[in-house]
Structure 1
Amino acid sequence: MSATFEPHAAPPSKPRARILVVDDDADMLRLLAMRLGAAGYQVTSVGSAEAALSQLDIERPQLVLSDVRLPGKDGLALFDEIRSRHPSLPVILLTAHGTIPDAVEATARGVYTYLTKPYDAKELLEKIAQALALGAPTSPSSQADEEWRADVISRSNRMADLLAEARMIAQSDASVLLRGDSGTGKEMLARAIHRASPRAKKPFIAVNCGAIPEALLESELFGHVKGAFTDAVTNHKGLFQTADGGTLLLDEIGDMPPALQVKLLRVLQERAIRPLGSSQSIPVDVRIISATHRNLEEAMAEGQFREDLYYRLNVVTLTLPTLAERREDIALLANHFLAKLARKYGKRSSGFAPEALKALTMASWPGNVRQLYNVVEQACALTTTPLVSLALVQRALRTPSTEVLSFTDARQRFERDYLVGLLKMTDGNVADAARLAQRNRTEFYRLLQKHELTPGLFKSDGSGVATGPHDDPVADE
């Protein structure tokens, strides 16, 4: 049982707070919804603690009002669950006289307050107003205050804490390392930090260190002069110069080749770049933000990432949560994407069916926000009605999508599968495999080591076991 009541008229002076009411008595639910609605609140009512927790996954209210005695989980168990998920969300308990001791105990554990049934309507509204006032920000944010993070769609506590830290860090010139799984929004957070910084009116430039071939990356970063190499027919300004005065995001910094790591370290130390083919250094004033989904500590231990560069880049670390760790944002993000995509596809949209939205909030999301966008886009492209159905969402969630992989991840997977194919074809003979790949044997061994492939395992003469990418004992897929 779930219902939402919104009054026809509301106080125009401020946005209406949303209250989640939990009671297994249908008459009590209707009465509370009417009284709170008449007072200007938006009310969502449910009949059990389990339904309340599901509703919290879809949309977070500003306050929860719950009866203590409920079927299944009781009001105290509900409070404990809310406290673990949303520590700052105020909870008011309604209790009969016989359960007052339980309510007193809950108050000592953090419940905002409790009221006994039959409750006084005026007292209830006063307690609600007090709880909401305590939970409200001390001063309303101006529109300008929010512009810096306008692209970061979120209302979760986890993201609110992260954004508060990001905004504080933005005021300095300290290098920032953004950590997080692929698809969590590292570039978007980097842009927000730039917009909140004194460099906001200067360029923001992003480069994916894993997506540009090693032979071109140095020229892209530092530039080159005419004649520096065969195809250098004109002078080329690198990304460091392009970002001068602003911010440079080095995305997937963990994939930067070791030789370039040395040159980057020198640039950070000297605050100057030397284009390829030039004997002159050019001063640059750039704030560096780097991002990675790799474990750089492990990469350092394996000799794949320089320790001195790591400490230059990692002055401040911010870690983005996975989408599963901020489920209260899923409905908000899904509706935001749907509105945006409906305009792209020229479709009229009235949102998701309730069961479709619930399916989105309960999904696992290994590809994080990027995967959510892809699922919403597929559902939007295929829908023939303004309301996106559960069936379309389930279809999109079941469909494997290579778009969920980042370019770097997809390239790594292809590279490994390619090497496995060559080793199987040549019966584990590295010289023959390197010849087919048109690479020298030293470089080919380096690639095998990178992907933890042992040639002997591909011999079929009894000295090893021929394997493939999915049944290889050293595979990490």
Structure 2
Amino acid sequence: MSLNHNVNDARILLVDDDENLLRLMTLRLEGEGYQVDSVNGGKDALKMLNTHSYAAVLSDLRMPGMDGMTLYEEIVALRKDIPVILMTAHGTIEDAVSATQRGVFGFLTKPISHDSLRELLSNALKQRQSAAREDWCAHIITRSVQMEQLLDQAHRVAQRDVSVLISGASGTGKELLARALHKASKRADKPFVAINCGALPENLLESELFGHSKGAFTGAVNAHAGLFREAEGGTLFLDEIGDMPIPLQVKLLRAIQERQIRPVGSTKQVPIDVRIISATHKDLAQEMADNAFREDLYYRLNVVNLKLPTLRERSEDIPLLARYLLEQSAERHDVEANRFSDDALQMLATAPWPGNVRQLVNVVEQCVALTHTPVIPVHLVEQALSASEQKWPTLTEARDAFEHSYLLKLLKMTEGNVTRAAELAGRNRTDMHKLMKKHSLQSADFRQEAVAI
């Protein structure tokens, strides 16, 4: 699963005490499409490495103060993933062997051959990107060109600390991509905190996000820090952001703009340093048109949009994913299942997969649970597919279905009297009208029905 290297995204740090060589090498590298920063000593190089991100370091071996090998050791202590190439006019085979044994990526002898420099840098960056892929998104299994392009874009975006909106159908792996983005970012050593914005009622969601002070409401016997502060320095993943109530959208927008929050029941503002990654399966453009999602918040969250394809759109990945999931599931359940039969794999590859990767995971799990043989037969796949097509709703879908059914019964019982319905539901009239609007229910329809009966 290789990444295509694009030198225009690669920034090189050039270190040499020879000003003339720095100018010449800078021109050469910029001519190849690289972005170049140059410094004339190891100490200045370390300062740059502390404040900038580099794809590779190209350094002289013999320099006054801090030589190239000492600089290399400092770089390894700081960032193990940056390839270092050393240059010297006094190179010997012994120097080169010693340097490479200690982990230096390559060794160039002055005068520098343009072809050797180009090849060594290209190989260094390809290896770094390949290693980075293994590290940051090892659990995203793909050979799809569409997914490879998406992951290339995601890796670049991860470095830039901007807000990202991940869109795509349910079950396509939005949280998996969000975790990968966090792992590839400069915040990787800080917390990744996730919450489903559609899984909690508005008052609880506000408390979960922003925290609350002791005694802020009934039951608040202790202060609660909230997820923004739990994610301090790291990433806060807001799943199903399209389900967030409008009043909370206003508070979230303020928190992003001001980079501070106010816990429920508190008068004090708390500064925050959090990267926001959000996700939705909804069409937010339509939600904005329906006044269900704030346009100003949308543009704050959607600095970069990453759209995950459906499983059918990456159908070449189905056999690959099925084998991977089988291996994982069999190991987890201690079952001696090691492959699908040819016709079973064919059935998997041609199924419609409305539930995407999540559905595939469930199908494989069921096959592993029921198999009595190392080779999973086609009838088990057919049985699991049939069961999975009876789609199990998400928590948000189940809650919405219950809410709709509850309102129908309530309005029928009160013959469309919104005040009486609100009293029975323990809500105020404003809340009741909002709920009715959400479910496209009109009180007049129930009054007419009552007359007709």
TM-score (norm 2): 0.68
Q: Assess if the C-alpha contact under 8 Å between 1:176 and 1:315 holds in 2.
A: yes
Kindly state the Cα deviation for residue 366 of structure 1 after the two structures are TM-superposed: 1.0
Kindly state the Cα deviation for residue 458 of structure 1 after the two structures are TM-superposed: 4.8
Which of 285, 291, 296 is the equivalent residue of 2:284?
A: 296
Kindly state the Cα deviation for residue 441 of structure 1 after the two structures are TM-superposed: 3.5
Distance 2:130 2:306 in 1: 25
Which of 216, 219, 224 is the equivalent residue of 2:204?
A: 216
Return the letter of the residue paired with 2:354: P
Q: Assess if the C-alpha contact under 8 Å between 1:365 and 1:371 holds in 2.
A: yes
- Aligned residue number for residue 249 of structure 2: 261
- Aligned residue number for residue 443 of structure 1: 431
- Aligned residue number for residue 347 of structure 1: 335
Q: Assess if the C-alpha contact under 8 Å between 1:219 and 1:276 holds in 2.
A: yes
Q: Assess if the C-alpha contact under 8 Å between 1:194 and 1:204 holds in 2.
A: yes
Judging changes above 3 Å, is the alpha-carbon distance between structure 1 residues 412 and 323 closer, same or farther for their aligned structure 2 residues? Answer: same
Q: Mapping of 1:75-474 within 5 angstroms?
A: 139-140=126-127, 142-400=130-388, 404-426=392-414, 428-458=416-446, 461=449
Return the letter of the residue paired with 1:212: L
Q: Which runs of 5+ in 1 are unaligned?
A: 1-135, 467-477
What is the RMSD of the two structures over their aligned residues, measured on CA atoms? 2.5
Kindly state the Cα deviation for residue 462 of structure 1 after the two structures are TM-superposed: 8.3
Kindly state the Cα deviation for residue 155 of structure 1 after the two structures are TM-superposed: 1.1
Distance 1:461 1:266 in 2: 45
Q: Deviations over 1:14-61 (max 9, x none)?
A: xxxxxxxxxxxxxxxxxxxxxxxxxxxxxxxxxxxxxxxxxxxxxxxx
Kindly state the Cα deviation for residue 459 of structure 1 after the two structures are TM-superposed: 5.8
* Count of aligned positions: 331
Q: Deviations over 1:48-98 (max 9, x none)?
A: xxxxxxxxxxxxxxxxxxxxxxxxxxxxxxxxxxxxxxxxxxxxxxxxxxx
Kindly state the Cα deviation for residue 426 of structure 1 after the two structures are TM-superposed: 4.9
Q: Assess if the C-alpha contact under 8 Å between 2:242 and 2:282 holds in 1.
A: yes
Q: Which runs of 5+ in 2 are unaligned?
A: 1-122
Kindly state the Cα deviation for residue 196 of structure 1 after the two structures are TM-superposed: 0.7
Q: Assess if the C-alpha contact under 8 Å between 1:370 and 1:404 holds in 2.
A: no
Q: Report the 3-state secondary structure (helix = DSSP H, G, I; strand = E; otherwise coil) of the residue aligned with 1:305.
A: coil
Kindly state the Cα deviation for residue 332 of structure 1 after the two structures are TM-superposed: 1.2
Return the letter of the residue paired with 2:269: S
- Aligned residue number for residue 58 of structure 1: none
Kindly state the Cα deviation for residue 247 of structure 1 after the two structures are TM-superposed: 0.7
Judging changes above 3 Å, is the alpha-carbon distance between structure 1 residues 462 and 207 closer, same or farther for their aligned structure 2 residues? Answer: closer
Q: Assess if the C-alpha contact under 8 Å between 2:363 and 2:388 holds in 1.
A: no
Return the letter of the residue paired with 1:170: A
Return the letter of the residue paired with 1:187: E
Distance 1:244 1:372 in 2: 35
Higher mean C-alpha deviation, range 443-452 or range 160-169: 443-452
Judging changes above 3 Å, is the alpha-carbon distance between structure 1 residues 173 and 143 closer, same or farther for their aligned structure 2 residues? Answer: closer
Higher-helix-fraction structure: 2
TM-score (norm 1): 0.65
Kindly state the Cα deviation for residue 460 of structure 1 after the two structures are TM-superposed: 7.0
Distance 2:449 2:182 in 1: 59
Q: Report the 3-state secondary structure (helix = DSSP H, G, I; strand = E; otherwise coil) of the residue aligned with 2:205.
A: helix
Distance 1:396 1:456 in 2: 45
Judging changes above 3 Å, is the alpha-carbon distance between structure 1 residues 421 and 367 closer, same or farther for their aligned structure 2 residues? Answer: farther
Judging changes above 3 Å, is the alpha-carbon distance between structure 1 residues 429 and 230 closer, same or farther for their aligned structure 2 residues? Answer: closer
Distance 1:146 1:453 in 2: 51
Return the letter of the residue paired with 1:305: F
Q: Report the 3-state secondary structure (helix = DSSP H, G, I; strand = E; otherwise coil) of the residue aligned with 1:399.
A: helix
Distance 1:341 1:335 in 2: 10
Q: Assess if the C-alpha contact under 8 Å between 1:367 and 1:405 holds in 2.
A: no
Distance 2:322 2:252 in 1: 39
Judging changes above 3 Å, is the alpha-carbon distance between structure 1 residues 231 and 462 closer, same or farther for their aligned structure 2 residues? Answer: closer
Q: Report the 3-state secondary structure (helix = DSSP H, G, I; strand = E; otherwise coil) of the residue aligned with 1:181.
A: coil
Distance 1:142 1:302 in 2: 44
Q: Assess if the C-alpha contact under 8 Å between 1:423 and 1:430 holds in 2.
A: yes
Distance 2:278 2:154 in 1: 14
Q: Mapping of 1:6-85 within 5 angstroms?
A: none
Return the letter of the residue paired with 1:173: D
Q: Report the 3-state secondary structure (helix = DSSP H, G, I; strand = E; otherwise coil) of the residue aligned with 1:442.
A: helix
Distance 1:137 1:463 in 2: 79
Percentage of pairs with the same residue: 57
Distance 2:188 2:306 in 1: 20
Kindly state the Cα deviation for residue 448 of structure 1 after the two structures are TM-superposed: 1.6
Judging changes above 3 Å, is the alpha-carbon distance between structure 1 residues 398 and 165 closer, same or farther for their aligned structure 2 residues? Answer: same
Return the letter of the residue paired with 2:339: G
Return the letter of the residue paired with 1:438: G
Judging changes above 3 Å, is the alpha-carbon distance between structure 1 residues 351 and 281 closer, same or farther for their aligned structure 2 residues? Answer: same
Judging changes above 3 Å, is the alpha-carbon distance between structure 1 residues 278 and 428 closer, same or farther for their aligned structure 2 residues? Answer: closer
Q: Assess if the C-alpha contact under 8 Å between 1:367 and 1:404 holds in 2.
A: no
Return the letter of the residue paired with 2:278: S
- Aligned residue number for residue 70 of structure 2: none
Q: Assess if the C-alpha contact under 8 Å between 1:330 and 1:360 holds in 2.
A: yes
Q: Assess if the C-alpha contact under 8 Å between 2:196 and 2:239 holds in 1.
A: yes
Q: Assess if the C-alpha contact under 8 Å between 2:344 and 2:381 holds in 1.
A: yes
